[in-house]
Structure 1
Amino acid sequence: MARQINHGCHRYRRESENASGSVNRNRICVARLNVVRSSPCQIVVPTPMLKAFNHVVHAAGYSLAGFSHLFRTELAARLEIVAGILAIAWLIVLGRPIRDYVVILILFCILIAVEALNTAVERIVDRLSPELSEFGKVAKDLGSAAVFAMLAAAGVYLIAVTAEDFGLIVL
């Protein structure tokens, strides 16, 4: 008659009770690292690979939360996604090779990363300096300049690809 009990991050399976009423438990870590027959307070040390995997899973969750916040709160980020889709559509119209799609995707991934960093800078400045200040203005202007530089890079690349397609330049 094994019964599972959830306790924090571990699951216990009640195996039996001895004459004094104490419970013998098998502790099974939720990540299924290994099974330990012992008292509930003994620590289970995960294997390095499983630790790394858990770290990657948690980091991906934090990244998705960041993207979710970015796209929910920043109109500029949503417009940049639309611009990226239009850029891909333009490359399809031109009939460009895969290399051009890869380059534009890399440029737009970097653009979204810079936009996320700019948003983080804006949030920090708003928190540290809620009043108008030269410090806040300069920090926000520099973040905006970084986003503009990435938009310009993507735009220059699309113009160059288009000019090559119409025979105006050779890349």
Structure 2
Amino acid sequence: MRNQPKYNFFKNTSYALKGLKDLIKTESSFKIELIITIILLPIIVFIDASLTNKALMFITLMGMLLAEATNSAIERVVDLVTLEHHHMAGRAKDMGSAIVFLSIFIFVITWAIVLIDIYN
């Protein structure tokens, strides 16, 4: 049997906001990526691009934040299990970092393609 309370939209939303607040408060990488997101969001709105390209730009920008949140969750769970150096713990953390790296790579490539297409 799962230790899970009955679904409640408002309570679950409060958990999500609590997690977001914790990310902003404790994770410097997330803060940096959030600042980048806040700066680039207006560009998506005002750029002369198709709706599809704007959607791709938005999705890749948000994907970067999602990847950082996932990486932070992985790191916290690993640290909860053991603070000692263990090769499997290190591999899990490295894979979390790879998620962030790939999301940033996809973000940069997507934005470059869209911007080059617009200004060529």
TM over 0.5: yes
> What is the Cα deviation at residue 56 of structure 1?
1.0
1:112 to 2:65 alignment: yes
> 1 or 2, which has the higher strand percentage?
1
Q: Which residue of 2 aligns with 1:125?
A: 78
Structure 2: distance between partners of 1:161 and 1:89? 15
| Percent pairwise identity | 24
Structure 2: distance between partners of 1:144 and 1:95? 33
* Contact in 1 for aligned 2:60/2:106 (Cα 8 Å): yes
Identify which of structures 1 and 2 has the higher relative contact order when contacts are C-alpha pairs closer than 8 Å and 6+ apart.
2
* Contact in 2 for aligned 1:87/1:158 (Cα 8 Å): no
Q: Rg: which structure is higher?
A: 1
Superposition pairs of residues 20-169 of structure 1, within 5 angstroms: 55-91=8-44, 94-167=47-120
Q: TM-score, normalised by structure 2?
A: 0.82
Residue ranges of structure 2 left out of the alignment (5+ in a row): 1-5
Superposition pairs of residues 3-22 of structure 1, within 5 angstroms: none
Structure 2: distance between partners of 1:130 and 1:144? 18
* Contact in 2 for aligned 1:88/1:101 (Cα 8 Å): no
Residue ranges of structure 1 left out of the alignment (5+ in a row): 1-50
Structure 1: distance between partners of 2:48 and 2:67? 29
* Aligned CA-pair RMSD: 2.0
Query: How many positions carry a matched residue from both structures?
Result: 115
Where in structure 1 do 4 or more consecutive aligned residues deviate above 6 Å? Answer: none
Structure 2: distance between partners of 1:115 and 1:150? 9
> What is the Cα deviation at residue 97 of structure 1?
3.5
